[in-house]
């Protein structure tokens, strides 16, 4: 229930950060202004004794986040990929959240598997290891199938995880509502909608049958992608709380030293991971939306292996075209076109000045092109972007949250492999290919064909509809009912569209 009791939860959040020492460390890592640090300490200190103690063996920020629960851990995972925002020391601390959290007992996992699959674990697997990875929602065991002898990865949800998540989400909803009430200016950012989106995404992770389906779909989409692999799910050994997949051996992408020692080309890997993400988002409209280092491995032959398909993003074709045009505008430094696309898509209110918006975008883009990647402060860049969105009244687009968040995460992963990577130059070939295939004459012809096919489904009904329309027209004393007016409008539109499309296709061929 989203009631005032959540105030207690939010107070304990701040108190936990203060008690563990995470408040001071986090603010210093993000180079917060001295005044903000002082205010945070003054407000947090009286409630310090209310905070969770956490695991003293962990670094302060990781200690606080793990003590607070899985929803906070998810947020920490995102920050762990951005050393350019939170600093390299804090980013290294937070990487523990990706796949090295404390596991729950193996016997508990076996009991859950037996209950879900309705057979003893010993009958399903000839070997079953201790946890090889543990994250916020589930942990993974390596096993050997009793029927085939094949090595597999068995993912098991943490006990009570759904209840814990709902508790955190309840507090987040309350905080979002309070922010909207106390700060009208924040409403354009739609904090409640953002939390609703986050809730839908996270709760989807708690049904591993959906994750298995996502893995299967993603594998089909990317079957032709060079040097990229997706392990296949084993449907007979999967259920709501258990998922079994093919085992794939590799070096975690977060272990840069091991990748370098194994002779892998880190520059090539950094470019490939970014280009793969863009290809999946633009080409397929279906992408891995949790691509941090803990969910990526590098095989001996250099293939990138993706894991953990609980959060997948989808964007429609129109949004993909808009996104590609925006990226291409930045790549070409055509800020006027970037501004126009924002206005055309409705991302910026029509009463704002497109020239001023283009000028503000130039102030965002030029520092990126004018400096080496290692000199760019992403924290300052993001702060300025926030100022721009506020100045021009841009609302948060919830349908783009996963896309934007994943772009930030993937860029962070790529920069961890190659700090000097130029994101725009790396993205150029993928975006140019997409635009060439989807925004040119061929794309227009393909759109017309699709329109003709859709309208063609109604072709057999056109004579009957026309006859009925003419008969009703010949009844002078009877007013056509509303439905006939609708039919008239539909018939005119459909008939005209069919004629126009037919003529255009005829000219094309």
Whether 351 is catalytic = no
Please enumerate in sequence order all residues whose Cβ is within 8 A of that of 385, keeping only pairs 6 or more positions apart, or say none: 364
Q: What is the 3-state secondary structure (H, E, C) of 178-225?
A: HHHHHCHHHHHHCHHHHHHHHHHHHHHCCCHHHHHHHHHHHHHHCCCC
Q: What is the CA radius of gyration of the chain?
A: 27
Distances 257 to 83, 266, 374 between C-alpha atoms, Å: 17, 10, 19
Q: Of 227, 235, 243, 225, which Cα lies nearest the Cα of 308?
A: 243
Number of H helices and E strands in the chain, helices first, is: 24, 10
DSSP structural state of residue 460? G
Exposure string of 427-459, with b = 16+ CB inside 10 Å and e = fewer, is bbebbeebbeebeeeebeeeebeebbeebeeee
Question: E-assigned strands of 410-501?
Answer: none
Catalytic one of 99, 170, 290, 308: 290
Under 8 Å between Cβ of 87 and 30: yes
Distance CA 37, CA 31 (A): 9
Asked whether the beta carbons of 332 and 427 are under 8 A apart, the reply is: no
How far is the C-alpha of 130 from the C-alpha of 21, rounded, in Å? Answer: 33
With tokens 């290294």, the residue in question is 92
Alpha carbon distances (Å) from 476 to 39, 375, 466, 472: 79, 79, 18, 8
483 SS3 class? helix
Element (H, E) at 311: none
286 φ/ψ angles, rounded to the nearest 5 degrees: -145, 115
Q: Which two tokens stand for residue 432?
A: 């140019």
Chain centroid to CA 425: 22
Active site residues: 290
């Amino acid at each position: 229930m989203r009631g005032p009791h959540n105030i207690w939860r939010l107070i304990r959040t701040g108190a936990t950060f203060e008690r563990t020492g995470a408040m001071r460390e986090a603010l210093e890592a993000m180079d917060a202004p001295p005044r903000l640090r002082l205010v945070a300490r003054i407000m947090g200190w009286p409630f310090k004794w209310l905070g969770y103690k956490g695991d003293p063996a962990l670094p302060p920020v990781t200690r606080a986040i793990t003590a607070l629960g899985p929803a906070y851990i998810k947020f920490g995972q995102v920050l762990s990929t951005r050393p350019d925002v939170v600093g390299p020391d804090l980013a290294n601390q937070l990487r523990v959240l990706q796949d090295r959290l404390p596991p729950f007992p193996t016997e508990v996992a076996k009991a859950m598997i037996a209950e879900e699959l309705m057979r003893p674990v010993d009958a399903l697997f000839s070997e079953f290891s201790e946890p090889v990875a543990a994250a916020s929602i589930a942990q993974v065991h390596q096993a050997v199938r009793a029927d085939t002898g094949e090595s597999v990865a068995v993912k098991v949800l943490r006990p009570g995880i759904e209840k814990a998540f709902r508790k955190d989400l309840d507090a987040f909803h309350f905080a979002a509502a309070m922010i909207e009430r106390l700060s009208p200016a924040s409403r354009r950012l739609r904090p409640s909608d953002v939390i609703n989106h986050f809730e839908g995404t996270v709760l989807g992770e708690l049904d591993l049958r959906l994750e298995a389906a996502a893995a299967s779909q993603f594998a089909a989409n990317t079957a032709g992608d060079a040097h990229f692999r997706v392990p296949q799910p084993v449907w007979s050994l999967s259920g709501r709380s258990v998922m079994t997949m093919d085992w794939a051996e590799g070096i975690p992408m977060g272990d840069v030293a091991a990748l370098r020692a194994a002779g892998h080309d880190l520059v090539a890997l950094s470019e490939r991971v970014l280009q793969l993400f863009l290809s999946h988002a633009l080409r397929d409209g279906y992408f891995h939306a949790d691509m941090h280092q803990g969910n990526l491995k590098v095989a001996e032959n250099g293939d990138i292996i993706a894991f953990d398909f609980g959060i997948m993003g989808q964007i429609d074709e129109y949004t993909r075209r808009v996104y590609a045009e925006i990226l291409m505008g930045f790549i070409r430094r055509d800020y006027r076109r970037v501004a126009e696309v924002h206005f055309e898509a409705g991302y910026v209110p029509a009463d704002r000045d497109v020239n001023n918006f283009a000028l503000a975008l130039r102030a965002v883009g030029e520092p990126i092109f004018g400096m080496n990647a290692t000199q760019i402060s992403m924290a300052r860049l993001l702060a300025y972007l926030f100022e721009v969105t506020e100045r021009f009244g841009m609302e948060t687009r919830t349908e783009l949250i996963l896309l934007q968040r994943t772009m930030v995460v993937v860029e962070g992963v790529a920069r961890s492999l190659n700090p000097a990577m130029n994101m725009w130059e790396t993205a150029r070939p993928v975006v140019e290919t997409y635009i060439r295939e989807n925004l040119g004459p061929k794309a227009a012809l393909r759109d017309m064909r699709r329109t003709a096919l859709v309208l063609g489904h109604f072709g057999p009904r056109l004579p009957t509809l026309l006859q009925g329309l003419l008969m009703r027209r010949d009844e002078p004393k009877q007013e056509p009912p509303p439905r006939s007016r609708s039919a008239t409008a539909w018939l005119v539109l459909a008939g005209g569209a069919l004629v126009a499309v037919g003529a255009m296709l005829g000219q094309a061929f």
